[in-house]
Every structure is written in C-alpha cells, then in structure tokens.
Amino acid sequence: MKQLTKIFKTFNFDKEAQEQNEMILDMVYELAMNEIIEKEQDWDEEGAHFDPSTKKVSYPSGMMDLYKKCQQNDLFSIIVPEKYDGFGLSYTLWNAVIELMARASLAFSMFFPSQGLNIEIINNFGTPEAKEKYLPLLASGDAIGAMAFSEPNAGSDISAVTTKAEKEGDSYYLTGNKIWLSHGGAAGTYITFAVTDKTAGPKGLSAFIVDPKIAGSNMEVVGIEHKMGLHGSITSSMSLDRAEVPKENLLGKENDGFRLILGSLASSRIGIAAQAVGISETALQESINYSLQRSQFGRPIGKHQAISFMLADMATRVHQSRLLYLNTAQMKHVGANTQIESSMAKYWATEMAQKVTYDAVQIHGGYGYSQDYAVSRLFRDARVLTIYEGTSEMQKTIISRGALSRAQK
C-alpha cells in the first residue's frame, strides 16, 4: 500500500483533493485487504448462481454485503460529477481504487470498471433526462452498470452485432441475443448497441441504455457461463425480445453509437490495466512470503539466485505497469485523448499479469498447483485479462494504427 500511495502522490495533481484522496485510498485498502480478500477463496469455490426456473442470477454468499459496504462508503461516486450526487474526483483515484480491489479479489473488482464506463458514457452522451435518472443511481451503487456489446457472432468485431432496434412512437424496441455479460441479470443499467439502419454497417448502429425495469420480462437471462476463473463474478447470456427503450435512453445521435462506444472504451481499458496490476501485486506478495518461508537445500528458496531474480523481474514488471496505468489515468484527468495510451496500458499490464501469475505458481512449486494456495486461483483469474475489453491482438491493432498515423504527422 505504501508503494501505491507514494507513487500515487507523484501522479495526483488534484492537490486540493489530496487529503480526501488519501483518506479514500486508506479506507479502500482496509476494506479490500481485511474483509474482501478473506472471502475470495469461498467465492471462487461457490461461484455465481443461476436459477433456470425463475431466470434469476445471484452472486456468491456475502459478496453483496461487501458491495453494500462500498455503497455506504460512497465508492461508486468517485468520478460522478457533483451535480449528480458524486464527488467529481479524478480518474487517477478511481483506477487506484480498482487496483486495490483487484488485489483482494479480481471477481469483486469487476463491479468497478463497468460502473465507470456506464458513468462516463451517460455523462458524456446521455440526454438530460437520462443523466438525472441514472447518474445518481450509479453514484450510489443502487444500479450496477453493465456493458452488453458481445453477441455470438460479434466479439472482437463488435460492429457485427445483429440486435436490431425498431422505433415505434417514443420508444425503440430491441430484439437480439447478448452474451458474455458481466453482471447480466443483476445490473440496473446496460449500455448496448443495436442496428438502427441495416444498410449502413457500423454507421447504422445506435447506442442505448437498457433499463431492465422498463424492459421487464422482454429482457431475460438465458444462462451463465461456467468459467476457468473469476467464478465469483456473474457472466450471463441474455435475450432481448422487443425490449422497450424510451427515446430518452438513446445515447448521442441515432446511428452514431459505434463511434461513441469505441471512443469510450479507452477509459475502461485503464481500469483493466489497474486490475492486472492489483492481481499481480498479490501474486508477487504471495511469492515473496512463500520464498522466505520455504527452505530447500538448507536455505529459504528466496535466497537461491534463480528465485530472487524471478522476484526482481516480477516486482519491476508490476511497478512499470502501475506507472503506465496511473500515467494514462492522469492524462485522462487533464483532458488528453488517451485512445492509444489506454490500449498500451491494457495490453502491457494484462500480458504482464500472465507472466507474473505464472512465475508465482512456479515459485510455489507443487503447492502452486494446489487449490489450497491462492496463486493457483490468481493464475486462473488473471487469464481473462488479455481477452475481455478487447483482446491483446485488438489492442496491438489500435496501438500500431496510432503509431503509424502519428508517424505520418
């Protein structure tokens, strides 16, 4: 924690809020490392639930009690403007909070990046009615924010969505199938895309806020994924069958949804980089502790150069990725376009997490392969980081296009 606060200070130019920022980070650290981390193993074993008869989903036992603690401590209001019941604080702080949450539990930290993206998109592109209605709900955490982009045939190529939106009177009616929805069935707002002009390709897509209270039974969970890791987090598929979306819930202009969402993803990608740093920091700390306590050939394994050099590499990688995400968040805080830097941070930090969690298992030897040791879970959980919010290959595509276009200027 000391390391994060020390570095955070060097990035935090929001001097007026310095004291408040540090108070929030201390509080989050206590919550994450004293309460959330203790539950993580049980959540991993229990997993999320889906009841096919009621079509209801639920998080593992005790997760929502800790979610309520985050609500009581106003954690979801950090980046919400004051006008909508938020604190209007920096993206730097928001992402440092995500890192701390992911240190305790990657599954629990899943509540944060998608909340941030919902807040940002609604604040930037929502109608005045949508802002008034949804931003306070997202700030208090009474609504969990979800993103419903992926479809069976639209993954990396999200412009290939086939969900259609038909306008009738003052509403749109959405029909289609969405998959891989984090918090699907539990969320209060879903940012989604649908085809409003099927002759125009990506320029015929519009973005909407789907409100399950309005959509009712025309939007339902079909099932949940049984994943390699991240068991505590709900990942659903959902069907929309003429789900109503009032025109006030259109984001930006009709047929401008693709540009709008693609631009906004840069922001949540910083959060995924922060998640990667969080889980890697824990893998590093577990490895340091184990290498001091486990002896072979008459001395702690950490005193063997091969292991100590592995720890040196891990510590350096985590530090480097932390600098990368904090710097990108700070750029965003001062209003710079971070499209390319966000992809760099996401790509670099999530690939780093693969190496660090892999080495953590290696340092633990056979015990690292046992479910009884946290590192085996960290290794499984971290695997998703290079896939969701755009795969590493898609990030490299964005970075290389950006580098080429900058070189031409």
Closest to 193 in 3D by CA, of 179, 208, 176: 208
| 140 or 397: CB nearest ligand FAD | 397
Is there a contact between 359 and 313 (Cβ–Cβ < 8 Å)?
A: yes
What is the closest distance, in whole angstroms, from the C-beta atom of residue 233 to ligand FAD in the complex? 7
| 89 or 266: CB nearest ligand FAD | 266
| 113 or 126: CB nearest ligand FAD | 113
| 73 or 177: CB nearest ligand FAD | 177
What is the closest distance, in whole angstroms, from the C-beta atom of residue 377 to ligand FAD in the complex? 15
Is there a contact between 176 and 162 (Cβ–Cβ < 8 Å)?
A: yes
Closest chain position to ligand FAD (CB): 155
What is the closest distance, in whole angstroms, from the C-beta atom of residue 237 to ligand FAD in the complex? 10
What is the closest distance, in whole angstroms, from the C-beta atom of residue 151 to ligand FAD in the complex? 8
- List, in sequence order, the alpha helices (H) in 224-372: 257-293, 305-333, 339-363
Is there a contact between 303 and 292 (Cβ–Cβ < 8 Å)?
A: no
Which of the following is catalytic: 244, 281, 341, 389? 389
Binding site for ligand FAD (CB under 6 A): 147-150, 155-156, 180-182, 227, 230, 235, 384, 387-388, 390-391, 393-394, 397
CA distance 323 to 11: 9
| 162 or 397: CB nearest ligand FAD | 397
| 9 or 401: CB nearest ligand FAD | 401
For residue 190, the SS3 value is strand
| 41 or 391: CB nearest ligand FAD | 391
Residue 349, exposed/middle/buried by CB under 10 A (0-12, 13-18, 19+)?
A: buried
* CA angle (106, 111, 117) in 5-degree steps: 115
For residue 13, the SS3 value is coil
For residue 186, the SS3 value is coil
CA distance 80 to 181: 23
DSSP 8-state assignment for residue 42 = H
What is the closest distance, in whole angstroms, from the C-beta atom of residue 244 to ligand FAD in the complex? 21
What is the closest distance, in whole angstroms, from the C-beta atom of residue 391 to ligand FAD in the complex? 3
In angstroms, how far is CA 208 from the centroid of its own chain? 20
Does the annotation count 393 as an active-site position?
no
* CA angle (232, 237, 243) in 5-degree steps: 125
CA distance 114 to 98: 11
For 294, phi then psi, to 5°, come to -90, 125
For residue 181, the SS3 value is strand
What is the closest distance, in whole angstroms, from the C-beta atom of residue 192 to ligand FAD in the complex? 8
CA distance 395 to 116: 20
Active centre residues (catalytic): 389
